Chains A and B, each alone.
Chain A
Amino acid sequence: GNSVTQMEGPVTLSEEAFLTINCTYTATGYPSLFWYVQYPGEGLQLLLKATKADDKGSNKGFEATYRKETTSFHLEKGSVQVSDSAVYFCALSGANSKLTFGKGITLSVRP
């Protein structure tokens, strides 16, 4: 079946540091890939997505590239802000748009 593996957390960074959150997947066929973000006490918001190999999703300074050869969709940001503190979920979409999520990783950014 489909699965998503995220790096273990939590992650704590200083403001303006570079961020990488690793995500790899196992899937049949050609899934679409997503990053969702959950701010404290809130629901899930789509951060970015990519629907085919080599696509790059980007939003709010975050980027991720769909790498079919390494089955990865790593999230990066060049300079994080305190307001980026949240839980980040990598997910893939399979049949019937069923989302399979990774375990999530908590990011804390210090001023």
Chain B
Amino acid sequence: DTAVSQTPKYLVTQMGNDKSIKCEQNLGHDTMYWYKQDSKKFLKIMFSYNNKELIINETVPNRFSPKSPDKAHLNLHINSLELGDSAVYFCASSTGPDSGNTIYFGEGSWLTVV
């Protein structure tokens, strides 16, 4: 049973396209996240939602728009894709937004923009 699942796992698309990555967690957690891992494997948070409310919004281009229809889902939509958006995007979840809570990561979505 996959705790945090993302689809698609691999995505190759052309510049200028719009794409979405979906994420679902079956852990009953209240808080969900999107992290980006660049080509040098550096990880940085993008967004976080707690009970469907946005609580972290890092400096991310507004071409990136998260959507949380319910506590178990956090989708990431990207408009007008650019070459620099190529990365691995990780969805994650935790019981709540308190420091010390373990964050559980999905297996990642490898996005390649050509």
- Residues of A at the B interface (CB closer than 8 Å) are 31-32, 34, 36, 38, 42-46, 49, 51, 87, 89, 93-99, 101, 103-104
Contact = CB atoms under 8 A, between A and B. Distances in A.
Contact of B56 (A31, A44, A46, A96): A96
Contact of B90 (A44, A46, A104): A44
B90 A43 contact: yes
A101 B48 contact: no
11 contacts: A38-B41, A42-B107, A43-B105, A44-B90, A44-B105, A49-B100, A87-B41, A96-B55, A96-B97, A97-B103, A104-B43
Contacts of B48: 96-98
A40 to B, nearest CB: 11
B56 A99 contact: no
A97 B108 CA distance: 19
B88 to A, nearest CB: 9
B26 to A, nearest CB: 16
Contact of A93 (B35, B43, B99): B99
Interface of B: 31, 33, 35, 40-45, 48, 50, 55-56, 90, 92, 94, 96-108
Contacts of B50: 96
Contact of A103 (B41, B56, B103, B105): B41
A97 B101 contact: yes
B41 A104 contact: yes
A38 B55 CA distance: 26
A67 to B, nearest CB: 17
Nearest to A105: B41
Contacts of B41: 38, 87, 103-104
A46 B102 contact: yes
A70 B77 CA distance: 42
Nearest to A31: B99
A89 B45 contact: no
B76 to A, nearest CB: 15
A36 B48 CA distance: 19
Q: Which 10 A-B pairs have the closest CB atoms?
A: A32-B100, A43-B107, A44-B105, A51-B100, A101-B43, A96-B97, A93-B99, A43-B105, A97-B97, A104-B41
